[in-house]
Amino acid sequence: MIAIENNNYIVELNLLGGQIASFKDKMLGLEYMWDADKEYWGYSSPTLFPVIGSSHDNQYHFNGQTTSMPNHGILRNAEFDILKNDKVETVLKLSANSETLKQYPFYFKMLITYTLENNKLLIQYEIFNEGVIDMPFNFGLHPAFNCPIDPSKNFDDYRLEFSSPTKLLGCGPMVNEGLVSHINLKRDLFETFPTFIYHNVNSAYLSLTDGNHGVKVSLTGFPITAVWTPNDKKANFVCLEPWLGLSKKTDKDLAFEKRDSIMTIKPGKKRLFTYTITVY
């Protein structure tokens, strides 16, 4: 575990998965991130790459080669290296290796840069194609936040807030119900919709808040927004997830590059993605 911090906040990073393990207000003692308790869900903020979700059989087809990957891809159980770690910024690296190549047969490199700016954490992803053929992939984020954040509150005291009223499309509460500014969280919403999946949310940020304290995740550049908690376990966290695409659970041997929303990086090129987490 490594950390970056300033006078008011400290962020701890786990090299396993390159994940945010903790984002804490030092003055108030509030912890915003889920602690990855394996009884409920053993991750805190995994990066989804090169797939979001899974295929119907967890098998993938690359130019005649069939491989298997776990749900959401290969990164969350991979060990990252430290390229830089100072008081306010950390750069982590993962390169293709014998284990990743068994699952995803492409020579990639990923750099994740975490920069703490007062109460805002800027996260930047650089994905490089270090091979000699086009590299198809998909990408998303899966940060999990305590709910409640304030231990004196309850799960149902929280709501989702959109920074701009937006018409919600997709699958979830308040879909096609006009302009929506907020959704009050109730456990039974997740019985009806185990994962909320909204398309093209016209809002720069989505917040989880009790009206006093909360966390705000940027959505700009991500066409899909997912909201999830394992409701059957009554877990005290909610994930706010910017995604670049959706999984395609096909019942046939579909080539990977033909899956929904697959992007491509040319040999020797890279793609850059950023988002922010702001706490208050």
Listed by start position, the domains of the chain span 2-279
Best CA proximity match to 54, nearest among 74, 69, 34: 69
Residue with tokens 């090129």: 269
- The pLDDT value given to residue 247: 74
Q: Identity (one letter) of the amino acid at 23?
A: F
- The pLDDT value given to residue 249: 65
Instruction: Read off the pTM.
Output: 0.95
- The pLDDT value given to residue 126: 98
Q: Where are the alpha helices (DSSP H) in 95-160?
A: 98-103
Long-range pairs for 208-211 at CB < 8 Å and ≥24 separation?
A: 208/145, 208/147, 208/149, 208/158, 208/159, 208/160, 208/161, 208/238, 208/240, 209/158, 209/159, 209/161, 210/148, 210/149, 210/150, 210/153, 210/157, 210/158, 210/159, 211/159
Q: What is the mean pLDDT of each successive set of 10 residues along the chain, which is 280 residues long?
A: 96 98 97 97 97 87 91 95 95 97 97 98 98 96 98 97 97 96 97 96 97 98 97 96 83 79 94 98
* E strand or H helix at 191: helix 187-192
- The pLDDT value given to residue 127: 98
Say whether domain 2-279 belongs to CATH 1.10.287.3510.
no
